[in-house]
């Protein structure tokens, strides 16, 4: 279609009524990074949902409404590899890499299948992946919209869906997004109160001085009663905090509202793989001159440069376990990128996969993303489990797609709120290194927490008085 469809209209018209759907949302378009947005659902006879919990002997297979259809023995990594191999189709004529594959997330506790045992259980499934059998792809650079259906020859339902979707989108109109109203102050609603968080930072510093780790990613969480509409909240979130790796996933009784600026992994159909770790954050300022000073200070800070360098080294090591020997390199180091609320320090690591190795194998080797753990990864995750009194769940995991042509693109799940059965949670944190200041670390955590919760009002959490607030018990 020779125009860029409005993604909010596409979502409301084609995806919102369905219990399982996805919206991979390039709400902030960046050349070479975020050209396309993808929206879709598991329609047609090949539509399915894969759901998995760590420790289960099999992956559940659900139909498009969430009803059980069967099981696949093994873990989610094996199930995805098998399904992608079974359904592989040549799609070189498409200008994008999501060509009827799977869209979903890996939660942080999936680390148990990657060599780091869990001590806690997430309330949400550890992985959910939707077959992208009905797909709208929006090209923000060329101003085009593609409709894609996965089917076998002679299946009329795919042709009917494309015709119906074309007609629906031809008369598009953007939905009205309610105003934000009275935004909330979350500082008093943290699971770990300020004094305890400062103590935890000091405990991290003790581990660093003892030589147990070089860098520890410590996090906190807000968990609230939630009576609002997740879709409306996400539409407000994307307008006030646009990001290149944003997403809205509707997964039965779980909704993921993500405004991530960080790429975890991208694998092209040619086997070239890339990660863009973020370490180093500073708040935006309203005065352009002051904002420019903050940006330059971030780029020159010894502390933030050290944080970023250690994660780059960790990723080079992770890539080196799978990529061709000699192919791993760092084409961009310590570049500053600016978003609606923060400046971020970003590096780029690249490599190339050898023949016989795929994107799922690379993901298993690199998961969880080092920017959410610290280094060395396995020992640091043990320290995190000792300090944090909760599972991280979807937060700190990875979200995105695996295509049928061998490509993949996954973010790091940060700046994200998760709605589930009347609750809304959001995590935030920061990397602790030897010269970290506990008070500054607490302030940085609060700054990051603001992004996914912009637009949340008192009406969303129990009425105009905020009577629905309830802080989970602090440890």
State the pLDDT confidence band at 381, using cuts at 50, 70 and 90: very high
The Cα 195–Cα 127 span in angstroms is: 34
- Residue 127 is predicted with a pLDDT of 98
- Which residue would you say has higher pLDDT here, 296 or 155? 296
- What is the tens place of the pLDDT at every residue in 259-292? 999 999 999 999 999 999 888 888 888 889 899 9
* Range with lowest mean pLDDT among 18-27, 263-272, 445-454: 445-454
Q: What is the pLDDT of residues 110-153, one digit of tens each?
A: 999 999 999 999 999 999 999 999 999 999 999 999 999 999 87
Q: Please report which confidence band the pLDDT of residue 467 belongs to, taking 50, 70 and 90 as the band edges.
A: very low
Give pLDDT tens digits for 161-174: 999 999 999 876 55
Whether the pLDDT of residue 321 is over 80: the answer is yes
Torsion sign, CA atoms 13, 17, 21, 24: positive
Q: Identify the residue whose tokens are 């060509």.
A: 99
| Percentage, residues of the chain above pLDDT 70 | 94
CB 52 within 8 A of CB 66: no
Q: Which residue has the higher pLDDT, 198 or 281?
A: 198
Question: Which helix (H) or strand (E) covers residue 25, if one does?
Answer: strand 20-25
pTM value is 0.92
Neighbouring residues of 421: CB distance < 8 A, sequence distance ≥ 6: 253
> What mean pLDDT is reported for the chain?
91
Please list, in sequence order, all residues whose beta carbon lies within 8 angstroms of the beta carbon of residue 329, skipping any fewer than 6 positions away. 349, 350, 351
Residue 180's pLDDT band (cuts 50, 70, 90): low
Q: Can you tell me the distance from the alpha carbon of 79 to that of 471, in angstroms, rounded to the nearest whole number? A: 38
User: 307 pLDDT exceeds 80?
Assistant: yes
pLDDT of 253 higher than 60: yes
Q: SS3 for 303?
A: helix
Strand, helix or coil at 301?
Answer: coil
Q: Of 60, 215, 262, 444, which residue is the catalytic one?
A: 262
Nearest CA among 301, 321, 434, 331 for reference residue 370: 321
- Residue 454, CB-side half-sphere exposure with 13 Å CA sphere: 18
What pLDDT shows up at residue 461? Answer: 82
Q: Place 462 in a pLDDT band, splitting at 50, 70 and 90.
A: low
355 is catalytic: no
What Cα–Cα distance (Å) separates residue 431 from each residue in 195, 340, 375? 18, 21, 10
C-beta separation of 401 from 408 below 8 A = yes
Q: What does the DSSP assignment read for 223-252?
A: EEE--S-HHHHHHHHHHHS--TEEEEEEET
CB 398, CB 368: distance < 8 Å = yes
pLDDT at 204: 98
* DSSP one-letter code for 323: S
Residue 309 pLDDT > 50: yes
Residue of 111, 279, 377, 448 marked catalytic: 279
pLDDT(469) > 80: no
Model pLDDT, residue 471: 44
- The pLDDT of residue 457 is 83
Is the per-residue pLDDT at 92 higher than 90? no
**Contact criterion met (CB below 8 Å) for 235 and 241:** no
- Judged against a pLDDT cut of 80, whether residue 475 lies above it is answered with no
Phi and psi at 203, nearest 5°, equal -65, -40
Whether 296 is catalytic: no
């Amino acid at each position: 279609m020779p125009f860029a469809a409005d993604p909010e209209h596409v979502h409301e018209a084609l995806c919102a009524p369905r219990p399982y759907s996805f919206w991979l949302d390039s709400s902030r378009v960046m050349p070479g990074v975020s050209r396309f947005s993808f929206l879709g659902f598991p329609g047609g006879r090949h539509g399915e949902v894969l759901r998995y919990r760590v420790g289960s002997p099999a992956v559940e297979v659900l139909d498009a409404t969430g009803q059980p259809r069967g099981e696949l023995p093994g873990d989610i990594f094996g199930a995805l590899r098998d399904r992608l191999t079974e359904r592989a189709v040549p799609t070189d004529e498409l200008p994008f890499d999501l060509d009827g594959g799977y869209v979903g997330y890996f939660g942080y506790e999936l680390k148990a299948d990657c060599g780091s045992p869990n001590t806690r259980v997430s309330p949400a499934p550890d992985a959910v992946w939707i077959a992208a059998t009905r797909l709208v792809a929006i090209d923000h650079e060329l101003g085009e919209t593609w409709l894609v259906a996965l089917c076998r020859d002679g299946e009329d339902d795919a042709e009917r869906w494309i015709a119906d979707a074309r007609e629906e989108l031809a008369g598009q109109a953007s939905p009205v997004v309610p105003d934000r109203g009275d935004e909330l102050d979350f500082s008093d609603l943290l699971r770990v109160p300020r004094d305890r968080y400062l103590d935890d930072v000091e405990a991290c510093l003790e581990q660093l001085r003892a030589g147990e780790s070089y860098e520890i990613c410590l996090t906190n969480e807000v968990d609230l009663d939630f009576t609002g509409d997740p879709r409306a909240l996400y539409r407000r979130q994307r307008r006030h905090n646009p990001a290149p790796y944003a997403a809205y996933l509707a997964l039965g009784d779980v909704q993921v509202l993500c405004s991530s600026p960080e790429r975890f992994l991208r694998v092209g159909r040619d086997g070239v793989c890339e990660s863009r770790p973020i370490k180093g954050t500073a708040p935006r300022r309203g005065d352009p001159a002051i904002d420019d000073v903050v940006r330059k200070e971030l780029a020159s800070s010894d502390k933030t440069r050290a944080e970023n360098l250690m994660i780059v080294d960790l990723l080079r090591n992770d890539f080196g376990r799978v990529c061709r020997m000699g192919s791993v390199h760092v084409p961009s180091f310590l570049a500053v990128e600016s978003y609606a609320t923060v400046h971020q320090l970003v590096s780029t690591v690249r490599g190339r996969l050898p023949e016989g190795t795929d994107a799922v194998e690379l993901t298993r080797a690199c998961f969880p993303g080092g920017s959410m753990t610290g280094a060395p990864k396995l020992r640091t995750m043990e320290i995190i489990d000792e300090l944090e009194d909760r599972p991280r769940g979807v937060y700190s995991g990875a979200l995105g797609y695996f295509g049928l042509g061998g490509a993949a693109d996954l973010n790091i799940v940060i700046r994200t709120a998760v709605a589930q059965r009347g609750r809304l949670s959001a995590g935030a944190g920061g990397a602790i290194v030897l010269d970290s200041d506990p008070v500054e670390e607490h302030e940085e955590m609060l700054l990051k927490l603001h992004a996914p919760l912009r637009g949340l009002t008192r009406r969303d959490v129990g009425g105009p008085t905020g009577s629905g607030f309830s802080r989970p018990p602090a440890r």
